[in-house]
Structure 1
Amino acid sequence: MRLCSLGCASLVLVSGAMNAQQAPAPDNSSEVSAQIKQKVVEQGQRLDAMRSRLANQLEEIDAMKRTLAQQEAEYQTLRHAVGMDVLDQQRGGNANAAGARASALPMPGSDLLAAADTTVKPPQPVGQAPQHDERPPEVAPIFDQPGVLTPRGKLVVEPSYQFGYSSADRVALIGYTVIPAILIGLIDARQVKTTTQTAAVAARYGITNRLEVELRVPYVYGHTDTISREIFTGSAQDKVFGSSGHGIGDVEATARYQLNNGGADKPYYIAWLRFKSRTGRDPFEVVTDCVNRCVQNATGTGLPLQLPTGSGFYSIQPGVTWLYPSDPVVFFGNLSYLHNFARSNVSRNLVLAGKEFLGKVQVGDVVDVSVGMGLALNDKASFSIGYDQSFVGLTKQNGKTVAGSAKSVLGTLLIGGSYRFNEKRTVNFTLGVGVTRDTPDATVTVRVPMMY
């Protein structure tokens, strides 16, 4: 029995062991699969969220691009409305406006930077609209008439200095010829050198933004040297006869009015009217010499002992100035007509003969045409070049043309520069070179307008 019990027990243990080996182990694969599926779902949700966010940002970027394009179009419209030069000058003195102008221009790679930036920023205004200015653009002045009018309520005081030099050679034959090779009479060869210096003060006041008045008072100093040698009079050397004169010149008053509103590729027109008095010493008041220069003649046909400082005639001069801005230059010019009023009962002073009655004298009128162009080098300096030509009429005495009077043409090549120290101080320089025989050889003018 005991042996049977032990065998049965052993059999039971062996069967249990075999059953234990045949029983399957616990299965965890289902739990792992569930976790993986959960992570995949979460990643998909995150990816969908990122895609949605990226789509929203792309839409915002497109909206910003459209806003930028609209602002750029408005910016270009403003530049076209006020003119390139005016806009540059208004922004050149303001660093913030200059930065705004730079930000208004598209930069390479800006779209990529905007796409990479995940921070959404509201659209910001680009640039700053300039103040509307109806005045013409400023250029270096090389003519007598300025191109920019004085603002309303402002006073511009402009001191100026002008130096002019001219020389002329003249040969006078007084007598008659027996044959073309023999002259019986006087040969008078003269070389005349004239220096003129004019200091003036002009005051301009702006009544409105389109109307100004000006008063100019000059002070003139002139000196002339005449070098000559009379043949057949026993003279073996050159003779020099000098004369000079100084004093207040002819005071001028001018009114200017801007006719229209110009702009980029649109001309400006400024009409003006000048009146010139005869406050200076006129040629009929000075004394004519008949001691040093008159040969066997005491009727007063020599040279004056003093030089006049004025023309001796009242004058009125209407004209039109035009300016045409065309980036990057400004074209400008003048057209005017100077009328000299006749004088009656005119006499001149002679050293030996006293007063000589001349009657009614009228000098020729003058038609003046000038054209030029100006270029702004930066916001302070500018350069101008131009040409001025005048047509002078005949001088008449008692209704008849004066003997020796002829029409003349005065042509001058003008080169000028301007530098602005600040908003109220500017210096202008002009060089004039005569291109015709009747024009002064060289003229230098310096002006310093100061605004108050």
Structure 2
Amino acid sequence: MKKRILSAGLLLSVVGAVQAQDRQVVDSIANTLETRGLLTPKGHFEIEPSISYSQNTSNRISIVGYSVLPALVVGLIEASDADQATFTFGLAARYGLTNRIELELRAPWVYRYDTFSIREANTPTNSPRKFTSEGAALGDIEAAIRYQWNLESAPFWIGGLRVKSDTGDSPFDGEVNDNGIFVDPPTGSGSWSIEPSMTLIYPTDPAVLFGTAGYTWNLGDDAGRDLNEDGLANDKFNLGNSFFLGMGMGFAVNNRLSFSLGMNHRTVFKSSINGRKTGSILQLDSLSTGFSLALTDKTTLNMNLQAGLTEDAPDVEVSFSLPVAF
């Protein structure tokens, strides 16, 4: 199963040394590279509705048999295609506790529509068997705190700590049919996680440079169904921890519009069931582009497009957000 659990945000500047045009470029970069930067001013409040769409496909060929010649296999050959479409409707709220500290709470609502096509190549019929899995539910609610280390001079450093809950439907509890397909697709990861990160923002006319790095630590939990087919449903699972980084730059077109380009990478280490490693290490790389358009002094429209560069990454992800400051 390919996963990609990602978050997006908007940069709000409180630093007088950064010009208004630079601030908008920083906004666009942060939206493109899925992280936050300069924080919400003290006593200010912001809400951000968002919508995102991701498309992920995978192809797999399973062979049960033996090889007579390098090009001839005797046995059961099965080819399967999976097409997963996910819509996420999110609402985030942010509050500036001080000029250096920002608090955030985000709640997503996830709709998934998965289609699967399975074809047994050496059976009398050539028609593939098709299955669908559809459902919508609350996703994993997240809370975050961010601290800006310096206020007066660039480069700006922001440390963050994000905690993700397990409020979404777990893939380790959901019922599956005889073909191993979810009756109702999961909308969460199934466990809590903690994610510390560090962000660097460096305005340099006419561009703004950006970099971020962090580590996601997933906490283990008990599964609601048998994962290793030993007849017991109390398996202990632990999703693989991951390391991520991103970098990029952005440019201001004018005092209202800016665009950015960026690169994201995440390495997901092996997961485990009952303490035994399973699966493989995943490499998720994507190329991002985005724009930020100031509609009013307190409202901005952000768009972000990501294209997967590796097999494990989602094929494409498009997101729109509309942060409104109060």
For the criterion TM > 0.5, the same-fold answer is yes
For 1:88 and 1:365, the matched residues in 2 are separated by 38
Give, in angstroms, the shift of residue 230 of structure 1. Answer: 1.1
User: Aligned partners of 2:24 and 2:56: how far apart in 1?
Assistant: 35
Deviation at 1:401, TM superposition (A): 1.6
Q: Specify the code of the residue in structure 2 equivalent to 1:357.
A: A
Aligned equivalent of 1:418, options 271, 275, 292: 292
Q: Give 1 or 2: higher strand fraction.
A: 2
The answer as to 2:90 corresponding to 1:200 is: yes
2:136 paired residue among 246, 257, 261: 246
SS of corresponding position for 1:357:
coil
Number of residue pairs aligned between Structure 1 and Structure 2:
309
Distance in 2 separating the partners of 1:330 and 1:184:
59
User: Unmatched 5+ residue regions in structure 2?
Assistant: 1-14
Residue 143 of structure 1: how far off its partner (Å): 2.9
Q: Residue in 1 aligned with 2:54? A: 164
Q: Distance in 2 between matches of 1:423 and 1:203?
A: 18
How far does residue 242 in structure 1 lie from its aligned partner after superposition?
A: 0.8
Paired residue for 1:13? none
Shift in Å, 1:285: 2.0
* 1:146 aligned onto 2:36: yes
> Is 1:450–2:291 an aligned residue pair?
no
> Residue type of the partner of 1:327?
D
Over the residues paired in the alignment, what is the CA RMSD in angstroms? Answer: 2.2
For 2:269 and 2:86, the matched residues in 1 are separated by 23
Aligned position for 2:8? none
Distance 1:356 1:235, change over 3 A: farther
SS state of the match for residue 209, structure 2?
strand
CA distance in 1, matches of 2:92, 2:33: 14
User: What is aligned with 2:250?
Assistant: 374
Partner of 1:288: 176
Q: Is the 8 A contact 2:38 2:158 kept in 1?
A: no
- Could you tell me whether the CA contact under 8 Å between 1:370 and 1:386 is conserved in 2? yes
TM superposition shift of 1:389: 0.4
Residue 224 (structure 2) pairs with residue 347 (structure 1): yes
Following superposition of structure 1 onto structure 2, how do residues 233-312 of structure 1 map, counting pairs within 5 Å? 233-263=123-153, 266-290=154-178, 293=179, 302-312=180-190
CA deviation profile, 1:19-54 (whole Å, cap 9, x unmatched): xxxxxxxxxxxxxxxxxxxxxxxxxxxxxxxxxxxx
For residue 87 of structure 1, report the CA deviation from its aligned partner: 6.2
Select the residue among 207, 224, 227 that pairs with 1:329. 207
Q: 1:271 to 1:136 in 2, by over 3 A?
A: farther
The one-letter amino acid paired with 1:211 is I
Instruction: Give 1:286's aligned amino acid.
Output: G
The whole-number CA distance in structure 2 between the counterparts of 1:178 and 1:397 is 36
**Corresponding position: 1:317 with 2:195:** yes
SS of match in other structure, 2:19: helix
**CA deviation after TM superposition for structure 1 residue 150, in Å:** 0.6
Tell me whether 1:431 sits opposite 2:305 in the alignment.
Answer: yes
TM-score (norm 2): 0.89
What is the SS of the residue equivalent to 2:235?
Answer: strand
The structure number with the bigger radius of gyration is 1
Q: In structure 1, what residue type is equivalent to 2:240?
A: G
Q: Does 1:175 align with 2:52?
A: no
Give the Å deviation of 1:342.
Answer: 1.3
| Alpha carbons 2:25, 2:252 under 8 Å: kept | no
**Counterpart among 276, 281, 286 of residue 400 in structure 1:** 276
Question: Quick check: 1:258–1:270 contact (8 Å CA) kept in 2?
Answer: yes
Q: Give the Cα–Cα distance (whole angstroms) in 1 for the partners of residues 257 and 91 of structure 2.
A: 23
Q: Deviations over 1:222-275 (max 9, x none)?
A: 111111211334332122111112100000000001011353xx3000000000
SS, match of residue 347 in structure 1: coil
Contact 1:411–1:435 at 8 Å: present in 2 too?
yes
1:60 maps to none
Higher relative CO (Cα under 8 Å, sequence separation at least 6) belongs to: 2
Counterpart of 1:279, as a letter, is T
* Unpaired stretches in structure 1, ≥5 consecutive residues: 1-80, 90-134, 294-301
Match of 1:203, as an amino acid?
A: A
Percent of counterpart pairs with the same letter?
36
Q: For residues 409 and 262 of structure 1, do their structure 2 counterparts lie closer, same or farther at Cα, with a shift above 3 Å needed?
A: farther
Q: TM-score, normalised by structure 1?
A: 0.65
User: SS of the residue aligned with 2:170?
Assistant: coil
Using the TM superposition, give the Cα deviation of residue 137 of structure 1 relative to its aligned residue in structure 2, in angstroms: 7.2
Native 8 Å contact 2:171 2:186 kept in 1: yes
1:383 to 253, 256, 259: 259
Q: Does the 8 Å contact 1:281/1:308 carry over to 2?
A: yes
Compared CA separation, residues 147 and 136, structure 1 to 2 (3 A): farther
8 Å Cα contact 1:136-1:323 kept in structure 2:
no
Match of 2:19 among 62, 82, 86: 86
Residue 148 of structure 1 aligns with an amino acid whose one-letter code is L
